Amino acid sequence: MRTSSIFSRIVLVLGGLAVLGFTYWLLATSLAPIEVPPLAVSRREIKFDPRVDMSKNEKFLRLKPLGDGVPELTGLGRSNPFMPLTMASSTPVQAPK
């Protein structure tokens, strides 16, 4: 009966030391200084370079428009998109010719 008491005390002391060691390790790792990541490289300032300005190039001045420049307004889509769909509103609307 005496040996179980000594054995339990040894296990109790070793367990206490393990808990103390784990607590020390936990505090040491959580309070340790961390490495700060390097600062992001700042971008250089964007400036207008008149030497590479294309608006003064002769080819730029000779450009012609591709169309008359007026968009065509068509009747595509529903007049009221929040109205529930019915058979009459679900038929496709044809663009005027």
pLDDT of residue 79: 77
Buried b / exposed e across 3-14, counting CB within 10 Å, b at 16+?
eeeeeeeeeeee
Note down pLDDT in tens along the chain; length 97 residues.
566 788 999 999 999 999 999 999 999 999 988 888 888 888 888 888 888 888 878 888 888 888 777 777 777 777 787 888 776 555 555 655 5
Long-range own/partner contacts, residues 53-61 (CB < 8 A, 24 or more apart)? none
- What ranges do the domains of the chain cover? 1-31
Task: Look up residue 39 and give its two tokens.
Answer: 């600062």
